[in-house]
A and B are shown apart, each in its own frame.
Chain A
């Protein structure tokens, strides 16, 4: 017996490839926005901000294509997981590209203000770590490597740690009078953007795991919630720590 539904499967693989291209573009844009921030490149910032519209267009088209596949092809099994993962990936990528834009916008706001080498060094480190996480997520998606995708979560801890170090350094720099409050706040927000990029990379890793194995994230949190509910201790549903 030979393969049937060839056109449908071709459609699926095109969606996959386009998502890889969009994700790879974001991987490249992370060090670029960092350079713009550090070199105070206003023209570069403008270009990056405009380029985001293209990411929006592409993810929007991909979403429409996925909805069309769901409506017309009624995919099942791995095909279904692929479409569901792709739909969720679209949201992750679109938001990640926005974060890169946000860093460029922050670059415009702190234009003309200098900050010390220690902070610059930490920005480069955060940027590199975020890029690496995103690159791993993209590669694991491109190759369908669930084990590699699962490892991204652990790598993210390092970026979280860098962000905390950076905030501490920003506070110290401000106390010492090297940067004013406006710049300190902008830098703290920038650190948050890098950290969020890492979180989106982790989420993409989860989508890859779902696509390949059917595994769904947040099992542990859901299990804890059910446990607490059985024990009757869910008095503060919103107050619990999220995972």
Chain B
């Protein structure tokens, strides 16, 4: 069983909260009045969302609706963009993720991310997997071997690469590279895996394998996936959030808003909001 104990350094020392002991209803993430600005451009506003643990949550919506921007708030990736500014609150197991004493690197250790384009390090398959654990101070070869093997097995890649662990990860196919990135993510035992369009560069079979993989690992990880492929959201997710863009009549600029967040089955069979209905059926107003 993975360690989901969350610790956040504070001025007074270490404040802890055991996610395993949290009540079932306690969300992994909770945002309130979340807004993200790039300079003076407001990319997304008024996002109130609760992400439950052990669920796969999908973010869907047209380009520019803010779904990736919101996703990037969950591991503080927006910090890396100098002009980006986050307003409102993002809580992770009840702790303010943007609190001034929270270490962004520690956040990213608990909240992993898989990107649209597979991005293996130009190293061997083994070293890709061992990279994170080594950073975390694991040095024993036997221990690293075990992590590499178990992570590759979890990512359904072990059988394909077990005989060439020393070979460069760059030699793998796109689908294999993406599963390697997921395995690399799993290797540091995160609590959450964020996926930003993880299959859009992959063929349908590689996509299906990633989708199967998501189902297999969802027991142990909270997964949030941004996808342009609505059928993918319908196939893999338990909950779906639909974002859209609203035009500000004064500035004529578009801002993303969260329209509806509900069970995926509801979103795709009988959505509550007309804008969701129009988007999923392809009928725009």
Contacts and interface: CB of A to CB of B under 8 A. Distances in A.
B234 interface: yes
Contact of B269 (A1, A2, A5, A214): A214
A55 to B, nearest CB: 30
Contact of B277 (A2, A4, A77): A77
A220 B129 CA distance: 55
Interface residues of B, number: 17
B270 A5 contact: no
A10 to B, nearest CB: 12
A76 B269 contact: yes
A81 B270 contact: yes
A158 interface: no
Interface residues of A, number: 17
B231 A78 contact: no
A1 B271 contact: no
A21 interface: no
A1 B277 contact: no
A59 to B, nearest CB: 25
B234 A9 contact: no
B270 A1 contact: no
A76 B234 contact: yes
A195 B281 CA distance: 39
A84 B283 CA distance: 19
B280 interface: yes
Interface string B257-285: 00000000001111100001100111111
Interface string B198-231: 0000000000000000000000000000000011
B88 interface: no
A77 B284 contact: no
B281 A5 contact: yes
B62 A76 contact: no
B264 to A, nearest CB: 10
Contact of B271 (A8, A74, A77): A77
B283 A76 contact: no
Which residue among B230, B268, B276 has the maximum number of chain A CB atoms within 10 Å of its CB?
A: B268
A106 interface: no
Given A1-B62, A81-B269, A214-B270, A76 B284 contact: no
A41 to B, nearest CB: 48
A146 to B, nearest CB: 13
Contacts of A5: 281-283
A77 B270 contact: yes
A145 interface: no
A78 B234 CA distance: 15
A8 B270 CA distance: 19
Contacts of A8: 282
Contacts of B270: 77, 81, 213-214
Contacts of A38: none
B269 A9 contact: no
A3 interface: yes
A8 to B, nearest CB: 7
B127 to A, nearest CB: 41
Contact of B281 (A1, A2, A77, A214): A77
A56 interface: no
A79 B277 CA distance: 9
A80 interface: yes
Nearest to A214: B270
A1 B281 CA distance: 13
A8 B280 CA distance: 13
Given A1-B62, A74-B231, A79 B281 contact: yes
Given A4-B284, A76-B280, A77-B271, 10 more contacts: A1-B62, A1-B285, A9-B282, A74-B231, A76-B268, A77-B267, A77-B268, A77-B270, A78-B281, A80-B268
16 contacts: A1-B62, A3-B283, A4-B284, A8-B282, A9-B282, A9-B283, A76-B234, A76-B268, A76-B269, A76-B280, A76-B281, A77-B277, A77-B280, A78-B281, A79-B281, A214-B269
10 nearest CB pairs, A to B: A214-B270, A5-B282, A1-B284, A4-B282, A76-B268, A79-B281, A76-B280, A77-B280, A77-B281, A77-B277
